[in-house]
Structure 1
Amino acid sequence: MATQSPAAARMLPHLRLPAALGLVLLSLSGCSMVSSRASAPSAMASPPMEDLPARPADPLAAFAARAQLGQEELVGSPPVPVRVVRTYNSGGGRPCRQLLLGAMATGRQALYCEATPGQWEAVRPLLQNGPPIRP
């Protein structure tokens, strides 16, 4: 067992009190956070659906819902040429459309699948570097 110097022995009681007080305050503040969350769950809950603003309609989703393979239209504002380059069913059985936005050589791809009957949503493709798009 190590022996303490007389100066350290005199300071030890003074160091123990602030450390103990700090631990007590820290534990009490954690309890107050837990109790405030437990007593007010409605403050943490999301707002009801009718209070949320309506999402603007996605013109690409509307195009994907009605377009057939090879169909091309000017979509959006400013208008951009969009073409359906591929249609397929996902692994889960949902109908999907691969779209080409812009020109064949410089355009970008977008993928839309039917979320619920009549409602289409943008999805992330599983394969990022797939085969090139053919018209």
Structure 2
Amino acid sequence: LRSCLYDLGNQKYVLTCVFHHIASDGWSSGILVNEFMELYSALQSGSATAIATVLPELTLQYSDYTIWQRKYLEGAVLESQLTYWEAKLQGVATLALPTDYARPSVQSTAGSNVSFALNKEISESINAL
């Protein structure tokens, strides 16, 4: 999740959030937005207890799912899966797809950003829209 809060002046702000598709889907992002709005409303009300109680307690955590999956994928189930895929992929060569530029031998997860300022005319047009 990457986020940025834009100060538009006159106590107006825009919060933007960007998710990588592997970290979120449409269903999950809807939940996140709703929970964020609930927490923001509770914060605006000024009640510290409201913030702590506004969201329901989760019955499951992602770690619960990973533990279940790890327990499921062991022994006979794991061996069956490995045997199946080893047989399916036997003799298959590495797939070389065309790319738009040469990739380095060691991939990096380093990202980058681009910053720019909108001129006053465009900014006012966006605000009017």
The structure where strand makes up a greater share of residues is: 1
Q: Tell me the TM-score normalized by structure 2.
A: 0.23
Q: Whose radius of gyration is greater, 1 or 2?
A: 1
Larger proportion of helix = 2
TM-score if structure 1 supplies the norm length? 0.23
Structure with more contact order per residue of length (Cα contacts < 8 Å, sep ≥ 6): 1
